[in-house]
Amino acid sequence: MSRTQSTPFTTTTLGSPRIGPNRELKRAVERYWAGRTDRAELESVAAELRRRTWSALAEAGLDSIPVNTFSLYDHVLDTAVMLGALPPRVAAIPDELDRYFAAARGTDEVVPLEMTKWFDTNYHYIVPEIGPETSFRLHPDKVLAELDDARAQGIPARPVLVGPITFLALSKAVDGAGAPLGRLDELLPLYRDLLGRLADAGAEWVQIDEPILVTDAVDDAAQLAERAYQFLGDSHQRPAIFVATYFGAPNGALPALARTAVEAIGLDLVSGSEQAVAAVPELADKLLVAGVVDGRNIWRADLEAALGKLAALLGSAAAVAVATSCSTLHVPYSLAPETELDDALRSRLAFGAEKVTEVVTLARALRDGRDAVAEAIEASNAALATRTADPRLHVAAVRARLDSILAAGFGRGPAAERRTSQDARLKLPALPTTTIGSYPQTVEIRQARAALRSGAIDHAGYVAKMKAEVAEVIRLQEELGLDVLVHGEPERNDMVQYFAEQLDGFFASQNGWVQSYGSRCVRPPILFGDVVRQKPMTVEWITYAQSLTGKPVKGMLTGPVTILAWSFVRDDQPLADTANQVALAIRDETVDLQHAGIAIIQVDEPALRELLPLRRKDKDDYLNWAVGAFRLSTSGVNDATQIHTHLCYSEFGEVIGAIADLDADVTSVEAARSHMEIVGDLNGAGFSNSIGPGVYDIHSPRVPGTAEIAAALRLALAAVGPERLWVNPDCGLKTRHQEEVVASLRNMVDAAKQVRAAQS
């Protein structure tokens, strides 16, 4: 065997953020898309960002540095390109970069690939399509170029690849092809060739990511892992192989991997468990890469506890390296720009850069003993201790109120009785028409927000402008003849941040951007303490809108599960407890809205599906508390107040029973693209309340015709009957243009009238 000897590394992360500390990549890519820069300029921004990332990691003291974790859009799409797996409609585009962005975003002629959630994070990847025509071929240029560039700067570079099992499991079969995983044997030789190329180019180590092994998505995961890594491990010309698992424990796949010839295995010891390691004797000759620093939440590590975990592993493996639990792609770059943080909270946080320091500190303790880092451990202990002292983390009054509501039990009356009171109060026609909440975020709205930020207008001036927007949206809806109106949400920058900014217990960072997909970034609020609502958050807006019309205006709230899903959440108590605190705040808001005369309140839970655990065995428990929190948030009102909810972005399959259990009076769901199948599915789950299956797809600029919407309604009617059917688009309208919205809603109202007329 001509395998080069590799030295085990001791300190690393599994990957890094790439959008740029000040979102430089976002700006460069968007300028390129707009035709305002050329490719050379884009490539130079990208190269500069990569180098800055590597050198920062090297300076911090990592002795093995991940490369090829950079991406102009998405690393799964990069992998599809590397394996020659772009669908024919995209592959036909001659220019490489045009092809890449066409796959991600589409063009006038080409439909883009789908996008979906990367495991249970808020990052979205591009879903590769594997069809009968896919013939894999290796295109290693990107990874080789990044490796060369890093090595030229003296970086101890470790190329990172999405592994073959994960790649295929995340892909989608198209054009009648069988399950993509069936083609594993075709991919393995390509990976073997690639390993040869990487070794030739001087790579001592390669990291192959197989997070799919921590899920139940692949039936014979252990077997496949053993087969794939036996094959790759046996190849002659290759770097040392480090197989990384993360986001959970690989269970049976761990001993399987350990039986192969790979040199290192990575475990997420933040979400997985270190006990499993002792039970795998085959690890005795491996390097164990211990992910003890949480790569996806923003809390400072408990160094003492992490050291304990590391110590427990020492006897079980040939060597132990310290790492983050996963790529730090999912946290912001650095705490440095956060000037508005108070000292206590700051001391408890660690963003990407701070996590690297923690890794280095722990590795030093392993090497030189605990005393060598005594100061850092003391600082970590002191920071943790501030949690007990910080009154914001234990607000007795809120805890007592919550406990007493939970102890007394909560719930609404029977759905049929609620329906009777609501019908009597609302007197809506059959097939009532409505929208999901937001209307287009117009240029005026954005300008007003910018003006407020820059100080060009004051708060009162801003509120006045937003109220003018509300009035315009109400006028438009009356003109269109909708039955249940909304205020349009112009005052909300984001449906979670808007509430986070008004609730105690949340901190909104200034620069805590995290890539969501492509050039899109989000700034998740940090939920660090007990959640307290000091005063009503939406009542002024909704009652203002209601004052302008005789039709009912829906109050709009974001549900507890979605608020959790789109925030960084405290880890010092169970998620379920945090969810209930948020639910209590929302519940108080619903009661205030009801008191102000609002008859319909919508509590959005678009993220219900997102937080679903990766392992089957954990799902029931999650759905239990998630549904419980929603019901807590919506059961403070009386029977005559109608509760709506809205869900989207999903194959609802696994959560369909939970949607029924939410027991909202009216549930609107994304359905336009799935041909109303959701309606039958909900019936099948025993749901008998009203339902508003989205009758057209708002993600597309296309204006749906009246006949087409009417056909969708008739399809839905066949499953639910006119007394249960609502008519609405499939999501909020904020990303659409005004003209599209007006034309589409006009057709929607017409379609509802037609179908109604045929009923009577």
> Of Zn ion, ligand GLN, none, which one does residue 644 interact with (CB within 5 to 8 Å by kind)?
none
> Of ligand GLN, Zn ion, none, which one does residue 280 interact with (CB within 5 to 8 Å by kind)?
none
Closest CB to ligand GLN: residue number: 732
Is the Cβ–Cβ distance between 136 and 84 less than 8 Å? yes
Pick 190 or 608: Cβ nearer Zn ion: 608
Q: Is 165 annotated as a binding residue?
A: no
> Of Zn ion, ligand GLN, none, which one does residue 418 interact with (CB within 5 to 8 Å by kind)?
none
Smallest distance from Zn ion to CB 115, Å: 15
Closest CA to 255 of 277, 274, 235, 229: 277
The Cα–Cα gap between 496 and 527 comes to: 11
The Cα–Cα gap between 238 and 235 comes to: 7
Residue 529 tokens, joined: 């303490």
> Of ligand GLN, Zn ion, none, which one does residue 495 interact with (CB within 5 to 8 Å by kind)?
ligand GLN
> Of ligand GLN, Zn ion, none, which one does residue 203 interact with (CB within 5 to 8 Å by kind)?
none
Task: Name the residue type at position 649.
Answer: Y
Smallest distance from ligand GLN to CB 581, Å: 22
> Of Zn ion, ligand GLN, none, which one does residue 274 interact with (CB within 5 to 8 Å by kind)?
none
3-state secondary structure 192-250: HHHHHHHHHCCCCEEEEECHHHHCCCCCCHHHHHHHHHHHHHCCCCCCEEEEECCCCCC
Smallest distance from ligand GLN to CB 459, Å: 23
Q: Is 24 annotated as a binding residue?
A: yes
Closest CA to 444 of 424, 423, 425, 466: 466
The Cα–Cα gap between 98 and 371 comes to: 55
Residue with tokens 């690849």: 161
Smallest distance from ligand GLN to CB 225, Å: 36
The Cα–Cα gap between 629 and 557 comes to: 14
Residue 442 tokens, joined: 């117009």
> Of ligand GLN, Zn ion, none, which one does residue 734 interact with (CB within 5 to 8 Å by kind)?
ligand GLN
Burial zone of 451 (CB within 10 Å; 0-12 exposed, 13-18 middle, 19+ buried): middle
Q: Is 521 annotated as a binding residue?
A: yes
> Under DSSP, is residue 320 helix (H, G, I), strand (E, B) or coil?
strand
Smallest distance from ligand GLN to CB 661, Å: 19
Pick 62 or 731: Cβ nearer Zn ion: 731
> Of ligand GLN, Zn ion, none, which one does residue 681 interact with (CB within 5 to 8 Å by kind)?
none
Pick 526 or 731: Cβ nearer ligand GLN: 731
Pick 334 or 438: Cβ nearer ligand GLN: 438
Pick 173 or 672: Cβ nearer ligand GLN: 672
> Under DSSP, is residue 5 helix (H, G, I), strand (E, B) or coil?
coil
Q: Is 610 annotated as a binding residue?
A: yes
> Of Zn ion, ligand GLN, none, which one does residue 556 interact with (CB within 5 to 8 Å by kind)?
ligand GLN
Pick 354 or 670: Cβ nearer Zn ion: 670
The Cα–Cα gap between 396 and 392 comes to: 10
Smallest distance from ligand GLN to CB 736, Å: 11
The Cα–Cα gap between 230 and 191 comes to: 12
Smallest distance from ligand GLN to CB 492, Å: 8
Pick 226 or 604: Cβ nearer ligand GLN: 604
Contact residues for ligand GLN, defined by CB under 6 A: 436-438, 489, 495, 556, 604, 606, 646, 648, 731-732, 734
Is the Cβ–Cβ distance between 41 and 28 less than 8 Å? yes
Q: Is 71 annotated as a binding residue?
A: no
> Under DSSP, is residue 333 helix (H, G, I), strand (E, B) or coil?
coil
Task: Taking the CA atoms of 218, 222, 228 and 229 in sequence, report the sign of the dihedral they define.
Answer: positive
The Cα–Cα gap between 417 and 611 comes to: 32
Is the Cβ–Cβ distance between 722 and 430 less than 8 Å? yes
> Of ligand GLN, Zn ion, none, which one does residue 604 interact with (CB within 5 to 8 Å by kind)?
ligand GLN
> Under DSSP, is residue 368 helix (H, G, I), strand (E, B) or coil?
helix
- Who's near 75: CB < 8 A, 6+ residues apart? 69, 125, 162
Smallest distance from ligand GLN to CB 483, Å: 17
Closest CA to 75 of 159, 8, 136: 159
Residues in the chain: 760
Which residues belong to the active site? Answer: 699
Is the Cβ–Cβ distance between 546 and 597 less than 8 Å? yes
Pick 147 or 731: Cβ nearer Zn ion: 731
Contact residues for Zn ion, defined by CB under 5 A: 606, 648, 731
Burial zone of 159 (CB within 10 Å; 0-12 exposed, 13-18 middle, 19+ buried): buried
Pick 190 or 671: Cβ nearer ligand GLN: 671
Q: Is 117 annotated as a binding residue?
A: yes
Closest CB to Zn ion: residue number: 648
Q: Is 438 annotated as a binding residue?
A: yes
Centroid of chain to Cα 229: 30
Smallest distance from ligand GLN to CB 648, Å: 5
Q: Is 686 annotated as a binding residue?
A: no
> Of Zn ion, ligand GLN, none, which one does residue 605 interact with (CB within 5 to 8 Å by kind)?
none
Indicate the angle between helix axes 39-60 and 141-152, nearest 10 degrees: 50
Pick 54 or 566: Cβ nearer ligand GLN: 566
Residue with tokens 């037609």: 754
Instruction: Look up residue 300 and give its DSSP letter.
Output: P
Residue 743 tokens, joined: 């034309």
Is the Cβ–Cβ distance between 297 and 568 less than 8 Å? yes
| Phi, psi torsion values for 608, nearest 5 degrees | -50, -45
Q: Is 26 annotated as a binding residue?
A: yes
Is the Cβ–Cβ distance between 560 and 604 less than 8 Å? no
Helix/strand/coil percentages in the chain, nearest 5: 50, 15, 40
Pick 538 or 580: Cβ nearer ligand GLN: 538
Q: Is 142 annotated as a binding residue?
A: no
Q: What are 727's strand-pairing partners?
A: 433
Q: Is 489 annotated as a binding residue?
A: yes
Q: Output Rg (C-alpha) for the chain, integer angstroms.
A: 27
Residue 291 tokens, joined: 């992910």
Residue 193 tokens, joined: 């060739």
Is the Cβ–Cβ distance between 559 and 606 less than 8 Å? no
Q: Is 737 annotated as a binding residue?
A: no
Smallest distance from ligand GLN to CB 486, Å: 8
Residue 209 tokens, joined: 């990511």
Centroid of chain to Cα 172: 19
Residue with tokens 């393995």: 188
Residue with tokens 């097939």: 431
Smallest distance from ligand GLN to CB 46, Å: 31
Binding residues are: 23-26, 117, 436-438, 489, 520-521, 566, 604, 610, 646, 648, 670, 731
Binding residues for L-methionine are: 436-438, 489, 604
Binding residues for Zn(2+) are: 646, 648, 670, 731
Binding residues for L-homocysteine are: 436-438, 489, 604
Binding residues for 5-methyltetrahydropteroyltri-L-glutamate are: 23-26, 117, 520-521, 566, 610
